[in-house]
Each structure stands twice: as C-alpha cells, then as structure tokens.
Chain A
Amino acid sequence: MTKSFFRQHQASLLTLLALVLFPFLVGLFEGASPAVVWANGSGTSKFMQGLAIEVFILAMFALSYDLIFGITGLLSFGHSMFFAVGAYASGIAIKSFGLNLGQTFLLVLAAAFIQAVLVGIVLPRVKGITFALVTLGMASVLHLIVMSTELGPYTGADVGLQGVIIPDFINPAVERLRLYFVAMTVFILFYLLYKRFVDSPTGRVCVAIRENEDRAKMLGYNVFTFKFAALLLSSITAALAGFLHTIYQPIVSPNTASLAFTVTALLIVLIGGVGTLSGAFLGAIVFRALDFGLRRYIGESASFINGAVYVLFVLFIPYGIIGTWRLKSLELKKGWEDLLKRFQRSMG
C-alpha cells in the first residue's frame, strides 16, 4: 500500500524533496554549511532563495491564470488585476492602516472575493473576445487608479508602493529561509488544491465548458456557477500571490496591474503547457531563469529575446514543455504497446 503510494507519486515526492533541500544544496556548492544557511547567512543561497520565492509567486499567479484560461477556457486580459489587488490591498493595509498580518490576510481574502464578484457580474453578459476586452478594461482602470497622483499617499503613484514594514519573523531580509518555506508551502497547498479541483466533478465540468460551452449547457449544467467557482478560486490564489509579493518585494510596482503582467502569466503558462497546472511551475522557473540570465548577460534587449521565445513557443511548441512531454510519452507508450502487440501477434 505504502509502496504503491510512493511509486504513484514518485515524481512529485522527488520534486518536493528537491525543493526542501534546494537552499542547502546551493549553500554547499559555495561551501556554506547547512547551519549557515539555516541561520540565514548571506550568500548565494540566500540570493537563490530570493529567486525561488519569486518563482513560487509567479507560479501561483500563473497557476491561477491556467485555471481560468487553460482549464475553464475564459480568455482574460485583466488577470494582473487579481494579483495587483492582493499586492496593493495588503501593502496599504499594513503601511497605512497598521493591520497585522492575520488581519491583512483576511482583508486580502475579502478583496479577492469582491473582485471575483465584480468580474462575475460581467461574466454572463459577455463572452469570448468581449470578455477579454472587458477584463482588460477593468485591469486598465485599476492600473490607472494606482498610478493616479490623488492616491499617491496610499499607492505611491507611478513610483510604486514602498515602505511597507514586514514583521521580522517573516521579513525577507531577516528570515528569508522561513519565507522561502512559507512561499513553498503555500504554493504546494494551492497546487494540490488545484489538482483536486480539476479532478473533481466541478473541475470536469469546467473542462467541458472550455471544450464546448453550449453542450455543457445542454447537459443541464449552470455554466455560470462553474465559471464563477473557477474565477473565485483563481482570484483568491492570485491575490494571495500578490500578498506574498508585497511581503517579499521592497516595492510593489504599478506594473503588476499592467497588461504586460498578464502577458507574463500567459507566457509562463504557454512555456509550461496550457491547462497542465504543473506547467505553471515549470514555466515560472524557465521564465524567471531566462529573464534573469538575459538581463544579466544581454541587458537591454532581454525583452526582445523574451518576445522571440514567446513566438517560437507558439509556433513550434504550442503545447508547452509539459504538454509536449505528455504527448510524446503517450506516443512512446503507444509505440511500445503497438510493438508489443505486433510481437505477440507474430508469436501467436
């Protein structure tokens, strides 16, 4: 029984182990002992933990996008709004209203719920491209609001929200390793939740809606309820990713509300594989590593290469890394089966 559990989840468990050991392994490479890493000594490990936290945040954001775009088939151009609301709400709550982290968490949840309801109001009225445009519009309005000078004292206008004081026990400067594990745990919890969701009856209806909305309707499902469920889950995930972003980053830039940030999510999902969930994590790693490496070694024209990667993926690897891998392994498996069958036939 236990054995089959391990065998069944081999890949996931290995990944988990790698993630837990990651900070210490990086430390060892540099010659820093696990104890130093444990004590949050500065060095490559701390730096890499930072990158990894960013990857977790991006991955959560991309995961939430994959749920509504890849799984449910709603094309939204305003997904950055979900993230930015979480980031700004938490930052303003801590900085301007002095809430503690627990209260802020509840506030972020409430904000996520409210924005899901706002999009939910629009949802049944507009479809397809029009939905994309309306969400784009909503996100643009938020982008403009956080950029406006009137709200400068709260949002920091075009400079971004800064000066949010994070309690020491989770402050990235002091307790980065703890934040690393917190971010990791949150991401993994959400990933498992999403897996459950997609395999649940609700999730299957969401996939059915993506495949053919009219048919789902004819089968008697209230399409709106399912779309809204996906939207709500997605909104909460993205808002919490935004909350983590506020905790980790010294500045919440207004760019988090821009179309470019939605495109980032799209790019990550595309690299990993649309509708695969695990692709969001892999895509986030590839994206962050690519972006980091390119900016470091090429500098200015990094976004050019990013754009080119994007186009190449669309043209040549449309199912992303995970999707393509699954297809190939399926083909491989089928190939083996065919071979086996032929073999058996020739024997028999």
Chain B
Amino acid sequence: MDNFKVTLRKNLVLYLTLGVLVSLLIAAAQGMESKDFVITFLRGLAVGSLTFLVASGFSLIFGLMHVLNLAHGTLYMIGAYIAWTVFVRPDTFVDLLTPLALLLSGFTLQGVWAFVAARIRLSGAMGRILPWGGMALSLVILFMTLARYPIAVWDVEVFAQSPGTYAFMADQGTRLVPEAAVFEGLSPALAVIGLLAGSLLAAFSMVWLAHPPTAPQQLTWRHFAPFAVLSLVGILALIFNEPLTAWLVGLNTNWLFLVSVVVAVLAGMGLGGLMEVTLIRPLYVRHIYQIMLTLGMSVIGVEIVRAVWGRPEFIMPKPALFTGSGPGCPATTLAAWWQLNCATILVLGGRVRVYNEIFIPLVGLVVLVAVWLLLKRSRLGMIIRAGVQDSEMVEALGINVRQVFTLVFALGVGLAALGGALAAPSLGLSYHMGESVMLNALVALAIGGLTSYPGAALGSVIVGLIQQFMIKYGQIGIAIPFTEIVFKPTPPIVPASTIFLMVIILLLLPNGLLGKKE
C-alpha cells in the first residue's frame, strides 16, 4: 500500500496528464454519434500506427546512438515510392535489380580488399596516384555502362507516361505494360562485365585510399560469399528478366503487394545501413554535425524523389484483398469480409475502410509486439537496451557495438520504409509526405519520451487520435458548454493542437510521459 502511494506521488503529474487525456477522449465521444466516433477513433489509430513506425525507429536510433536522424521522414517517403514502383511498374524494378546488385557486389568484398591493400608495397607517390586513378577509371567504366543500360521507366514530363497515369490505370484494373527496354549499342555480356569491373575497381580503390587499420589475417570463403550471392542475383535477374517481369505482372495483386512491401523494407534497411556506415559513422564524435547532416540528407532525398517521380501526387492501388465491392458489401462481419474482400466493413454502424482503418492499425500492432519481443527476448535486444545506457561498457564486454549500431540503424530505417509502403495506398504519395510524418513523429516522441519504446507507441497514438478528432470536430463543430457558440477547428489548428499539447507536456514533464528521468 505504501509502495502504491510512493509510485502515485512520484508519477502524480503523469497520472494527472493521462487522466486529462482520457477524459478528453470521453468528452470527445460524447459530442458525436457512435458511428462517427468509431471511424474517427480507428483513423486516429491508423495515423498513430504510421507515426509509430517512423517514431519507433527514430527513437531506437536516437536512444542507442544519440543520432537525431531528421532524414527519417524522408526515408519513410522513399519507402513509399519504392513500394509504388514495385507494385505499379514491376518491369522497372526487375530492370533495376541487375545494375544495383552488380554495383553493390564489389563493395561487399571489403575484407578482401583490405587484405590485398595491406600487401601492396608501393612508393609514396604511386601509392597515392594509383588509387585515385583506379577510382577515376571505375567512374568512367560505370558511367559508360550505365548510360546505355536499358531501364524501362516512366516519363514525368509526358502525361500519358507519368507515374500518376500508371497509378490510375493500375487502380482501374488495367495495368499498362510499356514496352520493355532493350539493349542497344551495348551487349548484355558487356554490360555485366562493365558493371562488375567498375564496381570491383571502385570498391578496391576506395579501400586502398582509406587504408583500413585492421585487415584480416587470412581469407576464408566467408569473405567472398556476399559477393558471390549478389553478383549471381544480378546475372540471374538479367538472364531471367523477361520471365521474372511477366511473372510479377501476372501475379495476384495481394502477393504483389506483399512483394512490394518486402522490397521496400529491405531497400530501406540497405539504405539505412549504407547511410550509417558512410555518412553517420565518421561523425559520432560531433553530434551537432550529425543533426545537420541528416537535415541536409532529408533535403536531398526530397529533391531526388521530386526529380524521379515528379511533383504531382498520386496513389498506390490497393491489393485485391481490400477492394471488393458489389452485393454483400459493405461486409457486416469479418467472415463475410473474408469471403467477399469488401473495401469497407460495418463497425457499430460506421462504414470503415478495411485497408486504411483496420489493416494499418493491425500491422502497427504486430510491429509493436514484434519489436517489443525483439527488445525484451533476444540477445540483440539485450545489447540494444544495455547500449542505450552505456555503449562503451557494452563494447568493453567484447561486443562489436559498431556492428550493432549499423544493424539498429538499418532496422529503424526499415521500419520507416514499412510505414511509407503501408501509407502509399491509403494516404497517397507526395514529396512532402515525409515532412509531415516526421513532424508528427517528433511531437509523438516528445510527448511519449524520446528514448522510450512504449513512449513512442503512446505518443503516436495520442497524436493520431487528437489530429483525427480535431479534423472530425472541424466538420461537425464543438458546442461550447453553456453558450450557443459552435467552435469549428480549422485545418491549421489540427497540427497546432498536437504541438500545443507537446509544449505543455514538455513543460510539465521535460522527459515526456514515459521518458526516463535523467
């Protein structure tokens, strides 16, 4: 009993705040019909889930590495665009597989290159000129090969071939399949050789220039395995380009959707890992610069998206599982929905869109539990939790913390990419989608606690709910008690309300609702 009192007194502000928030929710429920409430509530959870996918990765990265990755929203956006590309234009995706795999393959031989570089003895001048020469040569080779490498793409400038048109047609069920790009002035064999040679040379020159202090003593098959796999994937993707494309195009949209989400997540993880190794790692001693760097990266990311996919907004079609219509829809029970795959379902009288308002929160919940299990039950999670407190001590135990950093960065970005891929069919794609989700995630984390995993979830849900209820009340108006006035919050007040809440909560609890006291 005393224990209870102590906890109560310690966390009085927290409980009071939570109490206020819950009573706000109850008050919000009183003001509208139950069907409106259900829809708004589920929408809030959906926005909260997407926010959570960004916020959780961001918070893991911040907690462990103290890197404020402000490019996280941009990576979420890139995840969305990658998913869209795989889903709507599988041919482009298959065409890209070969050059990407081959380009990366050389860089997986890091250990081998270090081994070789450590055994080259050259005079000072040659030792400096040769690597730069190798780098330049590799760039020339790569440029010449890539310039002629055929990749089927859309054309941002031409309306009939713009991403928006492809998206719209795919949504209508008629998938436009443009002509496959063919090799001209470059034989496939030469292309493979060029890409491989360029990649190997570039990677070797880089390692040679950097002179890594630790080189492996002897080479084993492990040093070559990733290279073999990647180059094999690249070459196979080239040989089986057509059947692979045809297979993906003909694939059931449900499976294609799954493939696109998986590809987006994997690409996000790869991108995150690459970013950590190349850009973030050199700056661990200067955190302010990391913040600036990620800010700059987010600008670049937005510009890349704008250049490649264009300015106009478009949407990714939903898989067949969520687009059914006709007699029997909206479904009234889950079983009925399962049979008809209705786009909507009736919940307490409200017509709820299955994908937007049920599927997304469900995925959010699954991820919440999965990451929680990873953190609590696995050895990696144990290392992460320990590293959040004292990564130096973890290293002193003989654990390669840097590797864990890369892994967690990849994981965090992968989560953001998953969020983007999920958002693409519901919120659509636009070059500023990253910015708004980033702001939401920052607010959510400030509310929940910057490095607290449950805090990220709680904060995200609070942000999502408040926003959606504000939007709903913007339509129906809030009757202010004891007066005749009906107050309608307008769009700018929607984000402002969550930010306002954030400032209040930070003033009351500087570490957020569930953040640790420093």
List residues of chain A with CB under 8 Å of any chain B CB. Answer: 75, 122, 125-127, 129-130, 133-134, 136-138, 140-141, 144-145, 147-150, 263, 266, 270, 274, 300-301, 303-304, 306-308, 310-311, 314-315, 318
Contacts and interface: CB of A to CB of B under 8 A. Distances in A.
B303 A301 contact: yes
Contacts of B296: 307-308, 310-311, 314
B282 A140 contact: no
Contact of B506 (A134, A144, A307, A310): A134
Interface in B282-325: 282-283, 286, 288-289, 291-293, 295-300, 302-304, 306-307
Contact of A130 (B283, B300, B450): B450
Given A126-B506, A304-B304, 6 more contacts: A127-B510, A141-B499, A149-B492, A263-B295, A304-B299, A307-B298
A318 B291 CA distance: 12
Contact of A314 (B293, B302, B439, B446): B293
Contacts of B306: 300
B293 A150 contact: no
Contacts of B304: 304
Given A125-B506, A144-B496, A315 B295 contact: no
A137 B303 contact: no
Nearest to A305: B303
Tell me the interface secondary structure of chain A in the complex: helix
Interface in B254-298: 279, 282-283, 286, 288-289, 291-293, 295-298
A129 B61 CA distance: 14
Interface in B424-451: 439, 442-443, 446, 450
A145 B495 CA distance: 11
Interface string B10-38: 00000000000000000000000000000
A141 B299 CA distance: 22
Question: Which 7 pairs from chain A and chain B are nearest by CB?
Answer: A307-B299, A304-B303, A310-B296, A307-B300, A311-B296, A144-B492, A148-B492
12 contacts: A129-B62, A130-B510, A134-B503, A137-B446, A137-B499, A149-B492, A263-B295, A274-B288, A300-B307, A310-B295, A310-B296, A314-B296
A237 B283 CA distance: 32
B293 A315 contact: yes
Nearest to B502: A137
Given A130-B446, A303-B299, A304-B300, A318 B492 contact: no
Contacts of B53: none
A210 B154 CA distance: 51
B144 interface: no
A116 to B, nearest CB: 16
A306 B299 contact: yes
A307 to B, nearest CB: 3
Given A133-B446, A145-B492, A318-B289, A308 B300 contact: yes
